Amino acid sequence: MAFNDDLFGVSGKALALRSQRLGLLASNIANASTPGFKAKDIDFAEALRAAERPGASLGTATASATKFRIPMQPSLDGNTVELNTEQTAFAENAVAYQTTLSFLTGRIGTITRALRGE
């Protein structure tokens, strides 16, 4: 187990996965009017389970958990982005990212105080 895994546990991996998911969702939103664009999303729970396996990398975990989104109402130009769905997923993931970041910031503060002997 790596040193940062001991300090931050699953939260460090969760933050990295949430960041990757934010990028993917932002790409979906940016391509909402691109003909033929296929929206994708990361199954966060699946990616986190895969990342927790011994010897797994975040890249492999993300790749295995990335799926094409199935639209509720397909468009005529082949684009599968549904803007409301993407914006909602982006907002929910951003809140979860911020929550994880706040937890890690608190953990770093605790470690810093312990090292100072406070």
Cβ atoms of residues 50 and 64 within 8 Å: yes
The string of DSSP letters for 57-101 reads -HHHHHHHHEEEPPPSS--TTS----HHHHHHHHHHHHHHHHHHH
- Look up the pTM and report it: 0.88
Cβ atoms of residues 52 and 13 within 8 Å: yes
User: Which pLDDT tens digit goes with each residue over 55-105?
Assistant: 889 999 999 999 999 999 989 999 999 999 999 999 999 999 999 999 999
Q: How far apart are CA 17 and CA 41, in angstroms?
A: 12
What count of other Cβ atoms lies within 10 Å of the Cβ of residue 93? Answer: 20
pLDDT of 4 over the 70 cut = no
Q: pLDDT-derived band of residue 6, with 50, 70 and 90 as boundaries? A: low
pLDDT of residue 29: 98
Q: How far apart are CA 25 and CA 59, in angstroms?
A: 17
pLDDT of 43 over the 90 cut = yes
